């Protein structure tokens, strides 16, 4: 059996299937390296947007004389 450079676990795919997977991951959208997903940043960004819209709506209501 060939030495696996990634892990010491047994190979789950045949060599031809692994080659297909590697080729798929190397082309198109999958070939672009991205920053890791940061869910906390997304939550804080969402909170900031909601707070901003809330302040905007209260400002418009006060300007219109409703509030």
Residue 32, pLDDT score: 80
Q: Per the structure block, which two tokens stand in for 55?
A: 């302040």
Tell me the whole-structure pTM to 2 decimals: 0.53
What's the pLDDT band for 56 if we cut at 50, 70, 90? very high
Higher pLDDT, 6 or 1: 6
User: Phi and psi (nearest 5°) for 48?
Assistant: -65, -40
Q: 16-49 burial by CB neighbour count: b if 16+ within 10 A, else e?
A: eeeeeeeeeeeeeeeeeeeeeeeeeeeeeeeeee
């Amino acid at each position: 059996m060939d030495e696996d450079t990634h892990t010491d676990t047994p190979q789950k795919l045949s060599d031809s299937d692994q080659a297909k997977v590697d080729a798929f991951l190397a082309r198109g959208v999958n070939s672009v390296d991205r920053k890791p997903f940061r869910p906390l940043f997304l939550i804080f960004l969402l909170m900031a947007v909601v707070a901003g819209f809330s302040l905007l709506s209260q400002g418009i209501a006060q300007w219109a004389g409703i509030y």
